[in-house]
């Protein structure tokens, strides 16, 4: 079992290069195919609603303007793809195909972007996003991918050359279990797997036999670390621990708590989506 | 992403044998570990709730009777397990391991099936449930729905009779929905090992959000070739058409999304999934 199709939603911004680099490096061990998806609305549908009727000239000016914006974005994406391919040794292809190296294709879809991205993500093995700090749209996309389409999402500021040491943030929840099975292809190729069991002083203890047995059934051995969480900052404790121990990837369940709770009280998922201190794979 | 651990709940009925044989047949194709667990409720729960006080002697005799029934069921489950394991050449192990053969283990848990599934289903790659035909299936149906929708794990629903092979010729029911896409991605380890894969489209392609073209492209990136048939003018319901197509061409596995519509719609208008659950003639791989 391996990743064969990795989806990268792109929009022509500066964030694309980071996401594409991460995707290509994630695809490398599997020679997977990367799809750069640019979804934008129909230029004629993206008219502003302002309450006064627009003249025909104004309308066509807006449509022309929109078309121009989308064209420029598409061109920027093409350039970014060409640059990342050159830097990372991937091959740009016209149609999705798998070869003996990482291939990457560009796809432009006209439609309501969140829906178009979700539909494409449902038929992908992994989605890669750039860190979402400063991009509310990107944040919403990542949340949709994790919660609605239930796809694993990989984010990184500085993607590693290889995913050798992988840490699993374990809190005995269903999302954490999903994250492990979604990360299986990475785990199969990893050299070291560490299970970081998060333990709050107030929460009941849990055994780890079940998750160790599950990994064992997949032919994997892991070492266990128990991390006591004091206060509310799960995010900082876990991130600090993983960074100090030089993990290449952190696998965690996203939105173990409800989204409302995450938004109101701040949550580990939101923090990691905005600004991941190390490469992180999130799944719900 | 890969299927290495298959959980099979047993209850001591005759359907256990079918569940186990189906699980072993699939495990053989993907080299998985089969975790057979006999689940029985606490015998003390057999006590009737009544306004009348019950004398200790009667209480004891009720518990004794329930305990005896539990022992009979456990024996039946154990026997089904050892016979099925012997028949399918499964190696019995105490600790799960990954190898080139089918490995398996048997254990017993006290509690309700629903609670046991709550605890264990999330850390299994596939959960096997018996056929829902017959009257004794109601207490299995709810745990199945829970595993699918709340735990988000794929389910393998057995037919009434065991099949020799499971997953050599696979039919995929495709409507372009999110549940169908989930079923496709989670059944991938089986599809990769299958000899023939065919899509049965139940909806014209241009009206669906995830067209068949995309699904075929996804499979071909994984090295799976698939062909397709269109069920264009269905005479029967979608569920019946799917089962008929599967039976006519000797498919031994049907893959489809479960509860793609809301539970309320399914209950009120009669859902495809509910029909499939009680009429399965071949094993069905469901995901939500």
Q: What is the CATH number of the domain that holds A242?
A: 3.40.50.620
Count of C-beta atoms within a 10 Å radius of residue B95: 11
Q: Which of A155, A182, A199 is where one domain is finished?
A: A155
- Answer yes or no: is A178 within a domain: yes
B174 interfacial to chain A (CB closer than 8 Å): no
Whether residue B41 is found in the same domain as residue B14:
yes
Cβ neighbours of residue A189 closer than 8 Å, sequence gap 6 or more: A29, A163
Please give the pLDDT value at position A262.
Answer: 62
pLDDT at residue number B264: 60
pLDDT of residue B270: 59
Res B2 pLDDT > 90? no
Domain termination residue (choose one: B157, B191, B217): B157
8 Å CB contact of A98 and B223: yes
Does residue B164 belong to any structural domain of this protein?
Answer: no
Overall residue count recorded for chain B in this entry = 288
Nearest residue of B to residue A184 by CA position? B1
> Is the same domain home to B103 and B41?
yes
Same domain, A146 and A174: no
Distance CA A172, CA A183 (A): 16
DSSP string, B212-231: HHHHHHHHHHTT---EEEE-
Domain edge (last residue) among A155, A178, A211: A155
Q: Could B182 and A217 be called an inter-chain contact, meaning their C-beta atoms sit closer than 8 Å?
A: no
Q: Do B210 and A177 touch (CB under 8 A)?
A: no
Mean pLDDT for the stretch of residues B273-288: 89
B81 secondary structure, DSSP code: H
Domain end among B115, B132, B157: B157
**Residue A195 CB neighbours (<10 A):** 20
| pLDDT value for B278 | 84
Do B214 and B128 fall within a single domain? no
Q: How many angstroms away from the CA of B160 is the closest CA of chain A?
A: 29
- Rounded Cα distance between B148 and B258, Å, is 7
State residue B106's pLDDT score. Answer: 96
Residue (of B37, B112, B129, B21) closest to B74 by Cα position = B37
Q: Is the pLDDT of residue B4 over 60?
A: yes
Structural domain includes residue B162:
no
Clarify whether residues A149 and A51 are in a common domain.
Answer: yes
DSSP tag of A48: -
If asked whether residues A151 and A236 sit together in one domain, one would say no
Q: What is the pLDDT of residue A257?
A: 66
pLDDT score, position B265: 57
Q: Which residues fall within 8 angstroms of residue B164, CB to CB, at 6 or more apart?
A: B25, B252
Whether pLDDT at B207 is above 80: no
ipTM exceeding the 0.95 mark: no
Residue B192 lies in a domain: yes
Q: Does B265 touch chain A (CB under 8 A)?
A: no
Alpha carbon separation from A98 to A17, A144, B19, B53 (Å, rounded): 22, 27, 37, 73
For the ranges A115-119, B216-220, B271-275, the lowest mean pLDDT is seen at: B271-275
**B78-89: burial string, b at 16+ Cβ within 10 Å, e else:** bebbeebbeebe
- Asked, for residue A160, whether it belongs to a domain, the answer is no
Is there a single domain that holds both residue B147 and residue B33?
A: yes
Residues in chain A: 284
**Please, what's the largest Cα pairwise distance for chain B?**
70
The b/e string for B47-66 (b: 16+ C-beta within 10 A; e otherwise) is eeeeeeeeeeeeeeebeeeb
| Shared-domain flag, residues B60 and B152 | yes
Within this chain, do residues A176 and A212 fall inside the same structural domain, yes or no? Answer: yes
Local structure of residue B128 (DSSP, 8 states): E
Surface of B (212-251) touching A: CB under 8 A: 214-215, 217-218, 221-223
User: Could you tell me if A268 and A199 lie in one domain?
Assistant: yes
> Is residue B163 situated within a structural domain?
no
The rounded distance, in Å, linking the Cα atoms of B74 and A148 is 41
User: Are B135 and B209 within one domain?
Assistant: no
Mark whether A169 and A136 lie in a shared domain: no
Among A105, A129, A155, give the residue marking a domain's end: A155
Q: At what angle do helices A209-217 and A174-182 cross, to 10 degrees?
A: 20
For B119-146, how does the pLDDT look when each residue is reduced to its tens digit (9 = 90+)? 999 999 999 999 988 767 778 888 998 9
> Which range marks the domain in which residue B95 is found?
5-157
| CB contact at 8 A, A155 and A237 | no
A127 contacts A118 by C-beta, under 8 angstroms:
no
* Residues 115-134 in B contacting A (C-alpha not used; CB under 8 Å): 119-120, 122-125
Residues A125 and A226 in one domain: no
Cβ pair A48, A60 in contact under 8 A: no
Domain count within chain B: 2
> Could you read off the pLDDT tens digit of each residue along chain A, which spans 284 residues?
689 999 999 999 999 999 999 999 999 999 999 999 999 999 888 777 777 777 889 889 989 999 999 999 999 999 999 999 999 999 999 999 999 999 999 999 999 899 999 999 999 999 999 998 888 888 889 888 888 888 999 999 988 889 999 999 998 889 999 999 999 999 999 999 999 998 877 777 788 999 999 999 999 999 999 988 776 677 788 888 999 999 999 999 887 666 666 665 556 788 888 889 999 999 98
Q: What is the pLDDT of residue B7?
A: 97
Asked if residue B269 has pLDDT above 60, the reply is: no
DSSP 8-state code for residue A55: P
Closest CA to B4 of B40, B39, B22, B29: B29
CATH code, B241: 3.40.50.620
Same domain, B104 and B140: yes
| Closest residue in B to A34 (Cα–Cα) | B221
**Residues facing B256 on adjacent strands:** B286
Q: Are A255 and A269 in contact (CB under 8 A)?
A: yes
Residues B47 and B106 in one domain: yes
Between helix A136-147 and helix A113-122 the angle, nearest 10°, is 40
Partner residue opposite A96 with nearest CB, options B178, B192, B221: B221
**Residue B262 pLDDT more than 70?**
no
Give the distance from residue B50's alpha carbon to the nearest chain A alpha carbon, in angstroms.
Answer: 36
The whole domain housing A192 covers 165-283
Q: Phi, psi at residue B38, to the nearest 5°?
A: -85, 120
- The residue ranking higher by pLDDT, A1 or B284, is B284
Q: Within a domain: residue B260?
A: yes
What percent of chain B stands above pLDDT 70?
92
| Whether B107 contacts chain A with CB within 8 A | no
Averaged pLDDT score across all residues of chain B: 89
In this structure, what token pair is assigned to residue B243?
């089962």
Interface A:B, Cβ pairs < 8 A: 92
Is there a single domain that holds both residue B18 and residue B64? yes
Average pLDDT over residues B95-118: 91
Q: Flag whether B230 is in a domain.
A: yes
Q: Are residues A131 and A32 in the same domain?
A: yes
- DSSP conformation class of B122: G
Give the separation between CA B252 and CA B166, rounded to whole angstroms: 5
**Cβ distance of B5 and A178 shorter than 8 Å:** no
Q: Do B214 and A123 touch (CB under 8 A)?
A: yes
Give me the number of domains chain A comprises. Answer: 2
Tokens 């032919």 correspond to A219
Do B157 and B280 form a contact (C-beta atoms < 8 A)? Answer: yes
My answer on whether A18 and A128 are in the same domain is yes
Distance from the B203 Cα atom to the nearest Cα atom in chain A, whole angstroms? 17
A251 in Cβ contact with A281 (< 8 Å): yes
| Subunit contact A149:B178, Cβ cutoff 8 A | yes
Indicate if A94 and A114 belong to the same structural domain. Answer: yes
Round to whole Å and give the CA distance between B222 and B245: 25
What tokens were used for B277? 């659950």
Q: Are residues B10 and B151 in the same domain?
A: yes
Do A18 and A117 belong to one domain?
A: yes
Distances, alpha carbon A90 to alpha carbons A17, A103, A185, A283, B122, in Å: 14, 6, 20, 26, 36
In a domain, A33, yes or no: yes
Assess whether B136 and B68 both reside in one domain. Answer: yes
Together in a domain, B153 and B180: no
């Amino acid at each position: 079992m391996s990743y064969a199709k990795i989806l990268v939603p792109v929009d022509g911004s500066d964030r694309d290069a980071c996401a594409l680099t991460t995707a290509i490096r994630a695809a490398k061990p599997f020679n997977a195919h990367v799809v750069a998806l640019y979804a934008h609305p129909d230029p004629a549908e993206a008219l502003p609603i302002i309450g006064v009727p627009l003249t025909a000239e104004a309308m066509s000016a807006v449509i022309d303007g929109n078309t121009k914006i989308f064209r420029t974005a598409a061109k920027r994406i093409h350039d970014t793809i060409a640059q990342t391919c050159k830097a990372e040794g991937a091959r740009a292809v016209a149609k999705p195909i798998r070869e003996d190296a990482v291939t990457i294709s560009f796809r432009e879809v006209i439609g309501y972007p969140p829906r178009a991205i979700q539909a494409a993500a449902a038929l992908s093995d992994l989605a890669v996003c750039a860190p979402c700090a400063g991009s509310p749209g990107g944040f919403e996309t990542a949340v949709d991918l994790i919660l609605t389409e239930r796809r694993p999402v990989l984010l990184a500021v500085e993607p590693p050359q290889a995913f050798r040491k992988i840490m699993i943030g374990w809190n005995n929840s269903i999302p954490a279990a999903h994250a492990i099975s979604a990360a299986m292809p990475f785990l199969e190729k990893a050299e070291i797997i560490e299970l970081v069991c998060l333990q709050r002083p107030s929460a009941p203890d849990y055994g780890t036999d079940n998750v160790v047995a599950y990994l064992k059934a997949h032919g994997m051995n892991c070492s266990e670390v128990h991390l006591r969480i004091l206060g509310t900052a799960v995010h900082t404790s876990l991130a600090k621990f993983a960074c100090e121990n030089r993990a290449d990837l952190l696998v965690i369940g996203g939105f173990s708590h409800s989204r409302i709770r995450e938004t109101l009280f701040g949550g580990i998922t939101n923090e990691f989506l905005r600004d991941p201190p190390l490469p992180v794979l999130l799944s719900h | 992403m890969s299927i290495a651990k298959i959980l099979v709940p047993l209850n001591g009925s005759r359907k256990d044998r079918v569940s186990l044989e189906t699980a072993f047949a699939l495990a053989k194709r993907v080299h998985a570990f089969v975790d057979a667990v006999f689940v029985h409720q606490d015998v003390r729960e057999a006590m009737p709730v009544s306004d009348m006080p019950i004398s200790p002697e009667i209480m004891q005799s009720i518990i004794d009777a329930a305990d005896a029934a539990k022992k009979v069921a456990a024996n039946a489950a154990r026997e089904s397990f050892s016979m099925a394991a012997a028949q399918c050449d499964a190696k019995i192990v105490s600790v799960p391991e990954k190898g080139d053969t089918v490995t398996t283990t048997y254990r017993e848990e006290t509690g309700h099936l629903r609670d046991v599934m709550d605890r264990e289903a999330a850390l299994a790659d596939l959960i096997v449930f018996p056929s829902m035909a017959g009257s004794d299936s109601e207490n299995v149906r709810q745990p199945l729905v829970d595993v699918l929708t709340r735990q988000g794990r794929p389910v393998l629903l057995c037919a009434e009779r065991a099949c020799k092979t499971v997953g050599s010729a696979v039919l995929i029911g495709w409507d372009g929905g999110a549940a169908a896409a989930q079923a496709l991605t989670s059944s991938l380890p089986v599809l990769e090992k299958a000899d023939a894969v065919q899509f049965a489209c139940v909806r014209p392609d241009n009206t669906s959000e995830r067209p068949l073209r995309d699904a075929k492209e996804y499979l071909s990136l994984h090295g799976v070739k698939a062909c397709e048939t269109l069920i264009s003018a269905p005479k029967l319901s979608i569920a019946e058409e799917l089962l008929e197509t599967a039976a006519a061409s000797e498919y031994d596995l049907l893959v489809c999304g479960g509860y793609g519509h809301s539970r309320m719609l399914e209950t009120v208008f009669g859902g495809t999934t509910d029909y499939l659950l009680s009429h399965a003639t071949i094993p069905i791989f469901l995901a939500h």
